[in-house]
Amino acid sequence: MVNLKINGIAVSVPEGSTILQAAKLANIRIPTLCYLKGVQCVGSCRMCLVEATGARGLVAACVYPVSEGMEVRTNTPRVRKSRKTTVELILSTHKKKCLSCVRSMNCELQKLALEYNAEEDRFGTDHDLKPIDDLSPSVVRDNSKCVMCTRCVAACNLQTIGVIGPKNRGYVKVIGSPFDVSLAHTSCVNCGQCVVACPVGALYEKSSVADVWGAIVNPEKHVVFFTAPSIKATLGEAFGLPVGTNVEGKMVSAIKQLGDVKCFNMDIAADLTIMEEANELLKRLMQGGVTPMFTSCCPGWVKFCEHYYPEFLPNLSSCKSPQEMFSAVLKTYYCQKTGIKPEDLYVVSVIPCTAKKFEISRDELGHYTDAAITTRELAKMIKEAGIDFANIPEAEYDKPFGVASGAGAIFGATGGVMEAALRTAAHILGGEGSPIEFKEVRGTRGLKEAEYNIGGGIVKVAVAHGLANARKAIELIKSGEKKYTFVEVMACPGGCINGGGQPYVHDEIRNNIDLKTVRAQALYDHDRESKYRCSHETPAVDMLYKEFFAQPLSKKAHELLHTHYQPREKY
């Protein structure tokens, strides 16, 4: 342990700790901009400069190591002046369209400018408006707002994609893709981790809010929303509620107050996915099909496989994602049941994921989803409608798609799809009394492995979240070192609860709270309290098979609930 003082407060920290880590233990806040826990720590923005004994000049607290007897000052006139100047220099090349910016009132640069009383034009406004890259169906880049923190680059590299990076040097340095091509023309997988890493409004999702409002007020359209499993655990953050608050009832109520719309539960489609996927796995095992089978509910992971490992496309489950399954059900079964023409039904999915915006454009999925909006976009619509979300009474999902299982809810956390599939597979093979919880596949370890005896057979499973861990799993399989039966992959670290479309969270929270764990716990709590714990128990799923699909993997199920994939060039 190393003993030091920060602003006169004695602190003892492990050897190798940084001043920033020591300050946290002393409950002293040091501002940061380029630093983001788990993503990047490079000390390039110079916002975290402090005075420290034994150092020449000011040092960056996020990278400077502590030493025995060190004394640190974080709030001297010299330090404050330096930070203020740094903010003002950043503002001099920043497009200050704050009132209309997607990050207005939730921007790290704006927050720092207010804290340090920065003069936004002290060094003038010396920048050229750069062209906005909005060709991607998912992500928009506005380099005129970029502060060169490179957090987006670090996030992309952590995902082992690396399609963006610094270009040029010095004053003309920008972030972009090789040869100035649009992000849409690279092998970007649209995961959106760059968006949630960006501290300002330089990256954001391509919005569908205007289109959805247009459909709601169109008298010829019947608008239906359905919400992904993780939304209930994250939407509240956009309204100041604690991280991990389950706001399902308030969310449904707020959506219904947007206009004459219906709101359904996508957890139903997650249950439907499990029925198809579990039976597909059993069929492969019994008939000698391609194994290991990979899950296919994450569009970022599917596109990653198409670009980087096309030889494994036969291993992907042919099941569509819950989003695409539910949209297909709505445009067929629901329209037949209600007498609504499919072209008059406007289907809106609320998703935690920017990759879902790309997914709805895929021809092989049938274009059943009309709009996919992120958690952030739904929050924007609720605020625009003047709804008092924190105090709104709760409501229930509309029929005929009402209560889903807890297995469907945990789809939003890494390991959730695997656990839900194991529950149903165990029931099919082992009957009543089969295990309900498979806790070995839970948690935020990058690559989780487990082995189960199900119905007298050994099933070896793996769960990978984050595309670096997906690569690791695939390489283990390619080398023959691992022989899995079933593999779940989620593109985003932590799964959907940490998706690229989730609410913006200030750095102070992200750097001090394990968002992935806290949000996931809300889903596991929901599962534990659910009336139904397994997908095959869900009444709505039973209704769909009895009235429409007949049975899992039927001809109609294959037509509407399954798909195929295509190799893509790697750029």
Q: Does domain 274-298+305-318+405-561 sit in CATH 3.40.950.10?
A: yes
Specify whether the CB–CB gap between 460 and 449 falls below 8 A.
yes
Residue type, 421: A
Residue 387 has pLDDT above 70, yes or no: yes
- Active-site choice (144, 208, 230, 317): 317
**CATH 3.40.950.10 residue window(s) in the chain:** 274-298+305-318+405-561
Q: Indicate if 311 belongs to the active site.
A: no
So what's the pLDDT on residue 172? 85
Specify whether the CB–CB gap between 66 and 17 falls below 8 A.
yes
Tokens of 309: 């490992």
**CATH 3.10.20.740 residue window(s) in the chain:** 2-75
Q: Indicate if 71 belongs to the active site.
A: no
Residue 431 has pLDDT above 90, yes or no: no
Q: Indicate if 297 belongs to the active site.
A: yes
Q: Which of 413, 468, 465 is nearest to 438 (CA)?
A: 413
Residue 195 has pLDDT above 80, yes or no: yes
- Active-site choice (34, 198, 496, 534): 496
pTM of full prediction above 0.85: yes
**CATH 3.30.70.20 residue window(s) in the chain:** 90-205
Q: Indicate if 356 belongs to the active site.
A: yes
φ, ψ (nearest 5 deg) of residue 205 = -75, 150
Q: Indicate if 324 belongs to the active site.
A: no
- Active-site choice (237, 277, 377, 488): 277
Tokens of 545: 């098979």
Class of domain 2-75: alpha beta
Q: With residue 80 as reference, give the H or E element that holds it.
A: helix 77-92
So what's the pLDDT on residue 430? 76
Tokens 């809300």, residue located: 522
Specify whether the CB–CB gap between 421 and 281 falls below 8 A.
yes
Please give the Cα distance from 571 to 568 (Å, whole number).
Answer: 9
Please give the Cα distance from 461 to 484 (Å, whole number).
Answer: 6
**CATH 3.40.50.1780 residue window(s) in the chain:** 210-268+325-391
Q: Indicate if 496 belongs to the active site.
A: yes
Q: Which fold has domain 210-268+325-391?
A: Rossmann fold (3.40.50)
Class of domain 90-205: alpha beta
226-279 per-position pLDDT tens digit: 999 999 999 999 999 999 999 999 999 999 999 999 999 999 999 999 999 999
Q: Indicate if 547 belongs to the active site.
A: no
Model confidence at 204, in pLDDT bands (50, 70, 90)? very high
What count of Cα atoms within 13 Å lies in the side-chain half-sphere of residue 200?
A: 25
Q: With residue 373 as reference, give the H or E element that holds it.
A: strand 371-374
Model confidence at 123, in pLDDT bands (50, 70, 90)? confident
Please give the Cα distance from 454 to 431 (Å, whole number).
Answer: 10
128-153 per-position pLDDT tens digit: 788 999 999 999 999 999 999 999 99
Q: Indicate if 396 belongs to the active site.
A: no
- Active-site choice (15, 311, 343, 364): 364
Tokens of 119: 């003069």
- Active-site choice (359, 377, 488, 537): 359
- Active-site choice (280, 306, 377, 537): 280
